[in-house]
Structure 1
Amino acid sequence: MKPSFSCLCFFFLLCLLQCGASGTRQQGDALNKFYFNNRAGRSSSSWPSSLLLVSNLESKVYDNGRLKEGDKVVRLPGQPADVHFDQYAGYVTVDKPNGRALFYYFAEAAENSGSKPLVLWLNGGPGCSSLGYGAMEELGPFRVMSDGKTLYRNPYAWNEVANVLFLESPAGVGFSYSNTTSDYAKSGDRRTAIDALIFLVNWFERFPEYKGRDFFITGESYAGHYVPQLAHAILHHKDRLINLKGIAIGNAVINEETDRKGLFDYFWTHALIADETIVSIHKFCNFSLDTQQQPPECDRAVDEASRVFDEVNIYNIYAPLCFSAGVTPTPKLPSIENFDPCTSNYVEAYLNNPAVQKALHANVTKLNYTWSGCSGDFDGRVPVTSTRYSLNKLKLKVKASWRAWMLNSEVDNYLVLNPCIIIHTYILYLIILESTTDR
């Protein structure tokens, strides 16, 4: 019997953990930005270690005493019976003077949590929620039924094999916020990595039993920036307290030039655009980040190719589109294997329920906007200020053996709602990188 792709992704995590121990509003993400921000300016700065070091980190460790128990989630509304693992959710301050705090959701391992590793999951965007997508649609313990009120169990949840921490990052994404409005305009890869490191240091103070535990950073899509840059910051900080064993990225955004080319090549090889269109793109378009303006022939070809965005589900071209704007009065029969294109609607309704927010200790500042799966693509709360780097940047120099895995897939999570998301390439491949060199 052929295993489902969801099972394969679950096995992918299990293998990573074992190897480390031995040695609609769908997700907006960078795929959309290839079209919508095709002419937008990008930062071309790299990220040497000096930029990702946090000065005076000790001064950014705040009082986390007695906060853990207050973060415990007693029960989520609509939660199924017989849940035998602990859940926590709440805010961790990363910048006290500016009032900047990041929201997290933590699902401990279903069995023997004290002996299982800790996994951090990051969604991409920039500006998309790890709570709404990672936790509620992909690899978390629960899924939301079509009524937007009821949850059901995910048999492929990663907390079957690990303690899984979901972080809404940067500030402005989901429930994460800043009391200083100008903070949002300063978002970018560098500060996202630094804030995530400060979050982790404070989170470990709140959950000291996880200090020194085998730690993995995982994510998808634009987390191709977030994951290795956070690993870079951890590994190069002089007070390295986090036992990083490896990183894993699904369908990572790493090289925007080749990603853009690959997107249109994918469309063409799947008969979604005409031969004349791809010929024009290859002939007239230069997707290098140094290119300020494309010739008219390129713009016309890209506009023609981008009609695909309106006609098919670009995250899974084999799947149906969602034609419903809300939830159903009564819940439909749930299924992990059968794709429901309106899943994001159910999650958005659930996370905007005041009772759910209260159970999660979320929205404590009463944000003046509703929770949404992606913030940056739609209302500008998280601007796109990406940095340029290559696959070679994943070969981080460390003093001990560790592993980085990258998995790319033809279809994203909307086929079987698995944790491998976004079509950035059109062939399935697995790259295993190891670094055992000294820093």
Structure 2
Amino acid sequence: MFSKPSTPRRAAATATAVLTAGLALTGCSTGGDDGDGTLNILMDNSEATGRLMQALADAYMEANPDVKVELEIRPGGSEGDNIVKTRLQTGDMPDLFFYNSGSLLQALAPGQTLVDLAGEPYMDVVTDTFKEGVSAGDAVYGVPVGHAIGGGVLYNLAAYEELGLEVPTTWDAFMANNRAILDAGGAAPVIQTYGTESAWTSQLFVLADNYNVLAAEPDWAEEFTANEAHFADTPAAAAGFEHLQEVGEAGFLNEDFASLTYNEGLAALVAGEGVHYPMLTNALTEIEATDPEAVDDLGFFALPGTDAANHGMTTWLPGALYLPQSTEDQDSAKDFLAFVASTEGCDAQTADVSVIGPYFIEGCAVPEDVPPAVAQLQSYFDAGLTAPALEFLSPVKGPALEQITVEVGSGIRTADDAASLYDEDVKKQAQQLGLEGW
């Protein structure tokens, strides 16, 4: 193993359970505002979301002592998606809820379920880049929480130093590093986590490869949305499934990939039990919550493609707070949104949570002293080597992707079969959205 054993898996998982349990106790609501000065907010169960939302809630309550903000937790992944859809459809959604931006938002039929915030004055300081990810037509629905996110590989710095490895800028170089790690023994080259509520993590080899797809096929997003190009007939797009199959067949995965959970995977990375973890950089917030010093032990690089001279990063917009049409006291909810969309809201997040990327609120600053992985993330922004994930360029994202990628990583399904199956999965979703050409 590499690095200090500062965060054993059990300790990390326990710390996460304690935090989420604490949030549930301070916020277990079952509906909209009850007229007693309480603002109810639904959010997912991730450590990162919990810390950000708790920081915003605490700061808002300090500035507004007559208001109580209660946070209700839901599962993540596809189970959580279904809960959000059901509660919106039945009118059982709390005053506000935190959810993804991009294509997953479009699946909520926002024009029928959410309040358009485009005319609110506080939206003037939300960047246009973010607004595009939470819009449908001229309507804008969300206020950003958190920072810009990179998709790629978190890696153990001590392992790289001990083995004399360099950050790979091509897929072949990445696989060579994995081979060197395997030959050295003692650590898994690539961490995968398909355990309970963690299947979503299996998607990173596909989703974080979009920069490389666009580098090879600049019109990919438009053609994919129009049903003119597909994963199975676009080699650059199919490569993500192939990469997942390759690392599995090469024996590079941790032995317990089928049962290991997301939080256990992060702990394994920090402890040096695994060296690479394909992941979004907002995971740094999760790590920092359980071991503040551990973020200094990790680096980050974009998922490599075929061109070392064009090694760029796929980026994600953070999630957002949305206002359901079913909320009775919309003025109170909008006042909270105005706070979130302010420098005071950013400061509240910065004070309690490590900044892992740029904010999408004008005037919000990023500290100069950031962990190594964040500095490496920022270098891609500084060099202009970034491109959005497909879900921010197209409303089409199939709901079964995480199940399909788990099957590929587990050796149950081939990459070719997975690409074709996913094309069928997105077809159903595109038809539900009523897109032309499907």
TM-score range, shorter chain: under 0.3
Q: Scaled by the length of structure 2, what TM-score is found?
A: 0.27
Higher helix share: 2
